[in-house]
Amino acid sequence: MASLNHLFVVISIILSLLAFSSNAQLSPNFYAKTCPNLQTIVRTAMGQAIAKEARLGASILRLFFHDCFVNGCDGSILLDDTATFTGEKNAAPNKNTARGFEVIDTIKTNVEAACSATVSCADILALATRDGVVLLGGPSWTVPLGRRDARTASQSAANSQIPSPFSDLSTLTSMFAAKGLTARDLTVLSGAHTIGQAQCQFFRNRIYNETNIDATFAATRRATCPATGGDATLAPLDSLTPTRFDNGYYSDLVNRRGLLHSDQVLFNGGSQDALVRSYGVSGAAFFRDFAAAMVKLGNISPLTGTSGEIRKNCRLLN
């Protein structure tokens, strides 16, 4: 009888461990029964948003990156500041530059109408990011789901852990390594800059003071980014096809037309030069590696199981 009881205890422990491990793992089918139309809802809303403004695909992608680099992919970047809560939106890397929040709000409203209190804002952001890339001509990937939303945020972590447009290669490599991402991941994820725009204040020093820059390109950018003033004036990160997700970014780097300092350091006589050249030649290789790196990015420290919450409003704690 004692041996049977012992066996029952062992089986119970194994089952509980299995249950815990399944909670800790993300799955593409996480909402298959609880919100079967989720992916269609997200894709439809992203299609409508990008039809109005193509740049939103890049904006959402940047939100996801900035979210994942601060305490993992937990939707913390979506939280508004309140009288009693300080979020990440006003951290230096996000203030007056992070955008697309209203798109996530719209998707959340639509998802709540279909399946209330079921899908996290963190997962909505992950899906919207993938769909934005696809809608602009980029690769698709299967998004693992099951993240829960943070009940906390960290402005200080956002200030210290999100890479700067002024960073050199060694700093970028270290910051990515701190998140479990390799130098190869850094170079392929930087290819996200094949879409989107940057403000003059973030590339002024490059176009006026740096030497590893194509002279004609620098002159073109100076025409709209003065030496003083005009900080918020925009320029495309990819000079060739700024609203199409392709490998044009890498061709720019090879031709010394990287807009940001942190872009051009990937091709400046260093360790990533060969990889940049290879992506510039093969869009298929870039697409394959980018899709894999995005899954890896999305797996950074998700909240699962009973951690966090499922926010009703992505801007506010429940």
Nearest one of 294, 193, 167 to 249, comparing CA atoms:
193
Secondary structure class of 117 (helix, strand, coil): coil
Secondary structure class of 149 (helix, strand, coil): strand
Residue type, 303: L
Is 261 annotated to bind a ligand? Reply is: no
Is 44 annotated to bind a ligand? Reply is: no
Q: Which helix (H) or strand (E) holds 265?
A: none
238: left (phi over 0), alpha (psi -120 to 50) or beta: beta
Is 163 annotated to bind a ligand? Reply is: yes
Task: Determine whether 66 is an active site residue.
Answer: yes
Of 55, 62, 66, 108, catalytic: 66
Is 72 annotated to bind a ligand? Reply is: yes
Q: How far apart are CA 5 and CA 2, in angstroms?
A: 5
Is 74 annotated to bind a ligand? Reply is: yes
Is 263 annotated to bind a ligand? Reply is: no
Q: How far apart are CA 191 and CA 250, in angstroms?
A: 7
Is 241 annotated to bind a ligand? Reply is: yes
Is 67 annotated to bind a ligand? Reply is: yes
Is 22 annotated to bind a ligand? Reply is: no
Is 88 annotated to bind a ligand? Reply is: yes
- What are the counts of helices (DSSP H) followed by strands (DSSP E) for the chain? 14, 2
Q: Which residues are annotated as a binding site for substrate?
A: 163
Q: Residues forming the annotated binding site for Ca(2+)?
A: 67, 70, 72, 74, 76, 88, 194, 238, 241, 246
Instruction: Give the annotated binding-site residues for heme b.
Output: 193
Which residues are annotated as part of the binding site? Answer: 67, 70, 72, 74, 76, 88, 163, 193-194, 238, 241, 246
Task: Give the catalytic positions in this structure.
Answer: 66
